[in-house]
């Protein structure tokens, strides 16, 4: 489990480094990827951390599997709905950064308190697919952060300074 916790921490640090020094205007203007500003991407990552956290907590508590309002084939539509819900909250960029950090902190705390062997247990993912907790965290939290951090860095290099 320590490797997952280290991976979560390092990936979020990489993401944080990718947004360091951005102004509020840069956070909320210009699309890093189609349809998503930097602020939208942070909210997007917080939403995914929330879904992972809910699935892990349901599994650890022995309850029924947590189900998000998405299906494997409908992930893009779920992403848009989650983005739009967060936009409707009208949070300031600083609030979005804090929510992103807090959600990851909650996930890390739950995983740190879990028995290490649970990392290789199979559980239901929020969209109905099954896999190990390790794969869930690696693919949908760690790799997800790193992918979006790279997109933000590329955007900053090409367009971000012009917003």
The residue with greater pLDDT, 30 or 133, is: 133
pLDDT of residue 160 exceeding 70, the answer is no
pLDDT one-digit tens code per residue, 43-64: 889 888 988 999 999 999 998 8
> Cα dihedral sign for 84, 131, 64, 111?
negative
User: What does 7-55 look like in DSSP terms, one character per residue?
Assistant: HHHHHHHHHHHHHTT--HHHHHSS-SBTTB-HHHHHHHHHHHHHHHHHH
User: CATH top-level class for 2-162?
Assistant: mainly alpha
Q: Percent of the chain having pLDDT more than 90?
A: 50
What is the three-class DSSP state of 61?
coil
Tens digits of residue pLDDT in 126-153:
888 899 999 999 999 999 999 999 999 9
What is the pTM for the complete model shown?
0.85
Domain limits, the chain = 2-162
Cα 100 to chain centroid, rounded: 8
């Amino acid at each position: 489990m320590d490797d997952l916790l280290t991976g979560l921490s390092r990936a979020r640090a990489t993401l944080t480094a990718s947004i360091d020094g951005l102004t509020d205007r840069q956070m909320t203007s210009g699309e890093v990827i189609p349809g998503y500003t930097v602020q939208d991407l942070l909210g997007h990552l917080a939403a995914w951390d929330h879904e992972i956290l809910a699935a892990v907590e349901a599994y650890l508590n022995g309850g029924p599997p947590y189900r998000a309002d998405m299906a494997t084939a409908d992930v893009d539509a779920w992403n848009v709905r989650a983005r739009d819900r967060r936009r409707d909250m009208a949070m300031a960029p600083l609030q979005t950064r804090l929510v992103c950090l807090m959600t990851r902190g909650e996930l890390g705390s739950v995983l740190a308190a879990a028995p290490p062997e649970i990392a290789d247990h199979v559980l239901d993912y929020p969209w109905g697919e099954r896999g190990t907790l390790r794969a869930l965290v690696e693919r949908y939290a760690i790799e997800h952060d790193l992918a979006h951090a790279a997109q933000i860095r590329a955007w900053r290099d090409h367009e971000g300074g012009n917003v």
